[in-house]
């Protein structure tokens, strides 16, 4: 249950997930109670104009402490991270941001007696030796990207802070997230967002993954629902304190292109795999999320075709509004 008088901090609020999650939280907790924080300023007018914004570098503990004493947060969503593909370009920085950022938030939450923390993990915690089909909650994990290694280590630390200090930190292992409101930045699954933008512009799409590369994916409304359901579930039903497997659909570039072609028959896709192919090949193709189903009732609403229809309708609408 949401205590609607809570003050909530979203770090990484201008990102693909953060921008939409902040707006959902503002609907639940009230605009003034949800502070959007990011290192960059919001481009989205609704995010910028609807409630407080603070420019924050999650590596700056002084700024975080000032913010916490100003707003007295009850909940923190810490979403700022360097994703898989960008992380490989500067592994040391990705490690620093992803790990020090998490420590700064966990320690702040303890010091300031924040009641609940959310931190996203990813399917990137799995690696080449992980079973690739229906990947279990508990299994071999040998991530080989710096992003995946930081997420795996982060999961261990979240569980450690829960067990050692009683901090109520909760987490989901997101698959690739697809939404029309904001673009992702620097991930291996980003093609599945870009492809819709190209299709709606009447352009063909050159994919950086090969045609039969299956990956687990999720439409943004499902990701928002999962995140909020997890955060509002009673603490005693959260049995997994590292991070929950989460699943909605799996598809290949060839299949998403076929789904788009049902609406835009002239759309064409070509393939030019780059370094991101190796990352995709090390990740699961499908995920077993029965623990999330059992513990807090997780159930996705969107499959590939339902997502395609919704994406194309909304992207077209946005394009028309921009043209006015
Ligand atoms: C990425 O591709 O890096 C992310 C992820 C799966 O965590 N979208």
Residue pLDDT, tens place only, 108-118:
999 999 999 99
Domains by residue range for the chain, with CATH? 8-124+141-173 (3.40.50.720), 177-217+248-323 (3.40.50.720)
Nearest to 290 by CA among 102, 141, 135: 135
**Residue 69 CA to ligand 1 centre (angstroms):** 33
- The pick from 174, 192, 275 for probing ligand 1's pocket by mutation, whose C-beta has the most ligand atoms within 8 angstroms, reads 174
Residue pLDDT, tens place only, 201-259:
999 999 999 999 999 999 999 999 999 999 999 999 999 999 999 999 999 999 999 99
**Residue 168 CA to ligand 1 centre (angstroms):** 25
How far out from the chain centre does Cα 154 lie? 15
Atom of ligand 1 nearest to the CA of 188: 2
Protein residues with CB under 6 Å of any ligand 1 atom: 83-84, 122-124, 147, 174, 176, 187-189
Catalytic residue set: 147
Q: What is the mean pLDDT of residues 130-150?
A: 98
The band of 199, judged by pLDDT with boundaries at 50, 70 and 90, is very high
Residue of minimum CA distance from atom 6 in ligand 1? 176
Q: Let me know if 113 is exposed, middle or buried by CB neighbors in 10 A (0-12, 13-18, 19+).
A: exposed
**Residue 222 CA to ligand 1 centre (angstroms):** 16
């Amino acid at each position: 249950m949401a205590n609607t008088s809570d003050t909530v901090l979203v770090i990484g609020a201008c990102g693909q997930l953060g921008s939409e999650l902040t707006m959902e939280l503002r609907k639940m907790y009230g605009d003034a109670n949800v502070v959007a924080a990011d290192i960059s300023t919001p481009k989205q007018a609704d995010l910028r104009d609807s409630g407080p914004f603070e420019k924050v570098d999650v590596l700056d503990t002084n700024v975080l402490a000032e913010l916490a004493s100003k707003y007295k947060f009850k909940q923190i969503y810490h979403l700022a991270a360097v994703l898989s593909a960008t992380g490989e370009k500067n592994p040391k920085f990705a490690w620093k941001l992803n790990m020090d950022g998490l420590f700064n938030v966990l320690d702040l939450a303890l010091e300031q007696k924040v009641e609940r923390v959310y931190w996203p993990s990813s399917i990137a915690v799995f690696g080449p030796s992980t079973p690739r089909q229906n990947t279990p909650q508990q299994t071999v994990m040998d991530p080989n990207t710096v992003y995946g290694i930081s997420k795996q280590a982060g999961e261990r630390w979240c569980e450690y802070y829960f067990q050692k200090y009683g901090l109520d930190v909760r987490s989901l292992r997101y698959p690739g997230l697809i939404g029309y409101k904001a673009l992702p930045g620097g991930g291996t699954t980003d093609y599945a967002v870009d492809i819709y933008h190209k299709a709606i512009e009447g352009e063909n799409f050159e994919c950086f993954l090969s045609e039969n590369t299956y990956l687990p994916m999720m439409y943004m409304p499902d990701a928002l629902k999962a995140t909020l359901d997890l955060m509002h579930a009673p603490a005693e039903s959260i049995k997994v304190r590292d991070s929950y497997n989460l699943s909605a659909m799996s598809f290949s570039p060839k299949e998403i292109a076929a789904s788009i072609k049902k609406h835009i028959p002239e759309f064409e896709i070509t393939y030019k795999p780059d370094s991101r192919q190796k990352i995709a090949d090390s990740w699961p193709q499908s995920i077993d999320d029965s623990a999330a189903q059992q513990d807090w009732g997780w159930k996705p609403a969107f499959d590939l075709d339902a997502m395609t229809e919704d994406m194309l309708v909304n992207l077209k609408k946005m394009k028309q509004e921009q043209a006015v």
